[in-house]
């Protein structure tokens, strides 16, 4: 007997996403037109088209004006600390129970959104980092992401300010994940988290971790030879080592080091040997290959960022509160997409569900939300002109 067939429509996706956002974010109606449902519909439309809130209001005929929507948002949004907590609850609202039954691999990364303006109230609102997109100023957000096939949910989000201790950022991400019932099997971090404070915190909290080791110290052409972690970068054979880090405050941390050497074999036009250097603690790797392949799982979080950028509405606002809201909505929409694939579209079978992401690609789901907003509010499909059209 064939299983029953059901139809998933754009209304189902919109209803689920809007309910999730409204239940956890708690936006209130602000007048007969700026209802919470209408506000989320316009915001989803802006996210789907990757345009500003003003452009979305200008394109939708019967939608609230941009000034009315801005006033409604500012009247109903809480302060940034409370908004961050609510966004985390929304990200965790649809997590499958299976993720809580056993520890899961977690990836932690920092996403930097280029910013070319001045801070709104506090100079520390703007994060500083290496130049990207013509600026060294960014609005920064850290996320924690579950690495499990078919259930790759973003489970925590933290707004990062200039001068914030990255160890405190990691602690907050793991605390938010723990509130959702997610226990880390091990943590995969980006090289930006390679610091004594972060390493000492993870060791003290007993969280196994793995991260790449950046090249620091004297270079190979120095008269005294290489030093620091550059010693491992110059190796021609794979091996296991110990490395002691010391920061400017005199604090130390000792890491286990895995050096995996491989040949380029003409990849990307390169030849010779490459040394991949990883630092880890609390793990017992079986081989050099296992270490590099385990860390490769972290690249899945880069995919989540790429998809998140596809649903992030653009803005010139200097207000970090609105910017955090827009980033949070993008990540929530991506979690909704993952949830539909796991809970609704997956094919039940022995050995686990079969997830086919081609059934509903992320851009298609966003297009559904765009079309639903256009059907609800209508669009401006004409423009007045002083001259007749030539035929």
pLDDT tens digit sequence for 76-89: 999 999 999 999 99
Predicted pLDDT at 271: 67
Which whole number is the average pLDDT over 345-369?
89
For residue 327, give every residue at least 6 positions away whose Cβ sits within 8 Å of its Cβ, in sequence order, or none. 111, 113, 141, 157, 308, 312
Dist. CA 279–CA 212, nearest whole Å: 6
The larger pLDDT score, comparing residue 271 to residue 40, is at 40
- Using 50, 70 and 90 to split pLDDT, how confident is the model at 261? confident
pLDDT for res 3: 60
Q: What is the pTM of this model?
A: 0.91
Residue 255 confidence (pLDDT): 92
CB 198 within 8 A of CB 190: no
Q: Residue 2: its pLDDT value, please?
A: 55
Residues 6+ apart with CB under 8 A from 386: none
Nearest to 108 by CA among 164, 203, 162, 172: 172
Percent of the chain exceeding pLDDT 90 equals: 60
Domain boundaries, the chain: 10-79+318-377
pLDDT for 159 equals: 96
pLDDT attached to residue 305:
76
Q: Is the pLDDT of residue 1 over 70?
A: no
Strands 127-132 and 104-114: unpaired
Cα-based distances in Å from 70 to 30, 35, 57, 61, 74: 11, 13, 11, 17, 6
Sorting pLDDT into bands at 50, 70 and 90, what band is 349?
Answer: confident
Q: What is the mean pLDDT of the chain?
A: 90
Q: Give tens-digit pLDDT for 64-112.
A: 999 999 999 999 999 999 999 999 999 999 899 888 989 999 999 998 9
What's the helix, strand, coil split of the chain in %, to 5?
45, 20, 35
342-358 mean pLDDT = 85
The Cα–Cα gap between 137 and 130 comes to: 9
């Amino acid at each position: 007997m064939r299983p029953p067939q059901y139809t998933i429509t754009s209304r189902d996706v919109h209803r689920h996403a809007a309910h999730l956002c409204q239940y956890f974010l708690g936006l209130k109606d602000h007048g007969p037109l700026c209802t919470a449902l209408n506000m989320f519909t316009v915001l989803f439309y802006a996210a789907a088209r990757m345009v500003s809130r003003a452009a979305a209001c200008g394109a939708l005929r019967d939608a609230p004006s941009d000034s009315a929507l801005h006033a409604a948002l500012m009247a109903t949004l809480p302060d940034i600390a409370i908004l961050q907590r609510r966004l985390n609850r929304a990200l965790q609202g649809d997590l499958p129970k299976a993720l809580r039954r056993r520890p899961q691999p977690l990836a932690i990364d920092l996403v930097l959104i280029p910013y070319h303006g001045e801070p709104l109230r506090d100079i520390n609102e703007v994060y500083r980092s290496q130049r990207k997109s013509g600026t060294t100023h960014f609005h920064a957000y850290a996320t924690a992401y579950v690495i499990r096939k078919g259930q790759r949910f973003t489970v925590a989000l933290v707004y990062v300010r200039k001068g914030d201790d990255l160890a405190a950022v990691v602690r907050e991400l793991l605390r938010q994940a723990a509130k959702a019932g997610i226990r880390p099997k091990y943590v995969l971090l980006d090289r930006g988290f390679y610091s004594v404070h972060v390493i000492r915190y993870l060791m003290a909290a007993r969280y196994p971790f793995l991260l790449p080791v950046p090249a620091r110290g004297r270079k190979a052409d120095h008269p005294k030879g290489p030093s620091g972690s550059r010693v491992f970068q110059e190796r021609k054979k794979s091996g296991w080592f110990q490395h002691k880090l010391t920061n400017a405050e005199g604090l130390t941390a000792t890491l286990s080091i895995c050096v995996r050497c491989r040949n380029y074999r003409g990849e990307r036009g390169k030849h010779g040997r490459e040394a991949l250097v990883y630092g880890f603690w609390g793990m017992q790797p079986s081989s050099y290959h296992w270490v590099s392949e385990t860390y490769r799982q972290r690249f899945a979080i880069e995919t989540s960022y790429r998809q998140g950028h596809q649903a992030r509405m653009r803005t010139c606002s200097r207000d970090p509160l609105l910017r955090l809201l827009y980033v949070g909505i993008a990540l929530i929409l991506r979690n909704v997409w993952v949830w539909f694939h796991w809970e609704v579209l997956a094919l039940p079978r022995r050995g686990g569900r079969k997830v086919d992401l081609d059934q509903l690609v992320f851009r298609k789901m966003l297009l559904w939300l765009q079309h639903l907003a256009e059907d609800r509010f209508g669009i401006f499909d004409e423009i007045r002109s002083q001259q007749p059209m030539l035929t």
